[in-house]
Chain A
Amino acid sequence: MTRVSEHLNQALHDLMESDPSVHLLGEDVSDPYGGAFKVTRGLSSRFGSRVRSTPLSEGAIAGVGAGLALAGDKAIVEIMFADFVALAFDQITNFAAKSTSMYGRPVPVPLVVRCPTGGNRGYGPTHSQNPQKHFIGVPGLSLFEMTPFHDAGELFARMFGLGRPCLFFEDKVLYTRQMYRTDDLFRFELVDDVARVHLDGAGRPDCTLVTHGGLVHRTLDAMRALLLEDELVCELLVPAQLYPVPRLPGLEDAAHVCVVDDGAEGGTWAAEVATALYPRLWGRLRRPITLINSADGVIPAAPHLEREVLVQADSIRAAVREALS
């Protein structure tokens, strides 16, 4: 049994061991601290100056990462809390992503910006957000997210293989969960690159849910309650690549589709997924795709208030029931 944070840590060790051109930068990433969430533990002791604790300079460290990548190496930059990737927005969108094509020829920029996301930890409005949506539709930029079903080493290899900058989101609560484990009722398999979680032996599900890595456990809790208490069978699709939205398998005969997204309402990843699905499923859908998002509001620090703003298992369950009623 491996926790997601340990799995990520091992993947970074393996990557830096196998590829001497990989550098890692971020605030407090060096030992003995090993990063705010301990994902970089042991790396500085092992790989020396290829791992650097940086000043508090999110914009510049994203730029330094892009520079290392431009010069022929590869860089992983850790933003301590995803909220602060706002400070690196210019370097990521106006330099790193654009430089892959704005010079009239392809310029590879193998840069991965790791962003610990999400709430439900009582950290308050500036340390809890899911900023994925702000980076959707930036030419030259790909978005990925850690899930409990995808091998992190393979994801790092894929992101670097693209030769363009990628944001890699990692939910902070997911860090503490186990890899490759679902609820005892459900099993999962990878179809191409998308994890498909379903009830063993069930026929066509009443509803197909699509979500990102950080919401997997809340969605599974909802699926369990829907099955046991509402007798509704759900299936779940979890892509590791968020944008461009990949092809989601097996939706042709879906009775209903529901996209669950922890980002705040408005201009969301969920809407982007629906936009990708409508032309494909048009004429077959019986009702509009249901979008479930966190509320349009800041994320409060007090847990009882925070809970009401973020997507929770009970809000997913209620939305699915309502859509199917």
Chain B
Amino acid sequence: MIVTAAPSRSPRHALNDADLRSLLLIRHFERALLGLFEQGVLSGTTHTCLGQEYIPVTLSALLRDDDFVFSNHRGHGHFLARHPDPHGLLAEIMGREGALCGGVGGSQHIYHRRFLSTGVQGESLPVATGVALKLAGTGALACAYIGDGTWGEGAVYEALNMASLWRVPLLVVVEHNGIAQSTPTSAQMAGTIAARAAAFGVRHHHVGSTDVGEIRQALAPLVDAVRAEPSPLVVEFATHRLGPHSKGDDTRPPEEIRRAAESDWYDRYAEADPERFARIDREQRELVERVVAEVSARPHARPGGAA
């Protein structure tokens, strides 16, 4: 499999409190979900973004209110980085009052303002291209998150072709975590994502860092160009999935899971600024504990009553 070495050095750019809060909100939210599953309180399934939280947090500052965001099965971080509403999201996942979509969509199917997710891989890229076609010239863009494995789907290529032909402001964010469910990238992808983008004449940018400030600095002019020209862009993050694909279904060898854990941003940011990190970490953990307690006590959501 492709194991993309993440930098082990401490981050060069200090995080502001808002970014740190966002990172840790997502981390504790996802951990809480796995805990709730273990207790048998949640039904269905869930896909946590543990280890990948820094990607949507990095992007959140580069996105505008009038941008559209298309998310996938692993979408809690995408949502929380854009809309810090853990109550609404947890209520959706638990089917409780105040749910974002009345409990109909659940973890994988959320439509809130200009954020939309669906559980069918690759489905959203043509839709994002259509939305981007409409947004072209307004300065707004459509941002679509996809995983490395989703490049198996034909719809991805059909969309990229049109996005490039028609010069639409489409930002494709690839979370390349080296695995699709249980299948390593080496067993599901021939060639590279960079070469795929090149084949369509689409700009491609590779991100190896987990340093929010550093990545943002590099991406800012590229994202500006998506809006201004307009033109599509593929940003590929080399990242790591710390947890199971969904819950309790991690069949990776222990050394591989350990390698993924070593690339985690969490310890590095903790070491860089221990006192402030510990304070915000505790604050966000306690916030999530309160959210869990409060939402769990709510009555069932009724359809039509979406928040």
Contacts and interface: CB of A to CB of B under 8 A. Distances in A.
A54 B180 CA distance: 10
Given A32-B251, A124-B44, A303-B95, A53 B109 contact: no
A126 B118 contact: yes
Interface stretch (B146-154, B211-219, B234-242): B146-154
B301 interface: yes
B104 A300 contact: yes
Interface stretch (A8-16, A56-64, A102-110, A153-161): A56-64
Interface in B70-115: 94-95, 99, 102-109
A304 B105 contact: no
Interface string A18-50: 000000000110101100100000000000000
A125 B153 contact: no
Contacts of B301: 302, 305
Interface in B108-132: 108-109, 118-122
B188 A302 contact: no
A301 B107 contact: yes
B182 to A, nearest CB: 4
A56 B303 CA distance: 33
Nearest to B251: A32
A36 B73 CA distance: 15
B43 interface: yes
Given A55-B152, A304-B95, A124 B181 contact: no
Contacts of B120: 83-84, 87, 126
A300 B303 contact: yes
Given A28-B182, A124-B108, A302-B104, A53 B187 contact: yes
A144 to B, nearest CB: 25
A303 B40 CA distance: 13
B300 interface: yes
Interface in A77-135: 83-84, 87, 121-127
A301 B154 contact: no
B109 A301 contact: yes
A198 to B, nearest CB: 35
Contacts of B2: none
A298 interface: yes
Contacts of A57: 152-154
B271 to A, nearest CB: 35
Interface string B145-185: 00001111110000000000000000000000000111100
Given A32-B251, A124-B105, A124-B109, 13 more contacts: A27-B180, A33-B251, A57-B153, A57-B154, A60-B154, A121-B43, A124-B44, A126-B108, A301-B44, A301-B106, A301-B108, A301-B109, A302-B300
Interface of B: 43-45, 94-95, 99, 102-109, 118-122, 149-154, 180-183, 187-189, 249, 251, 300-301, 303
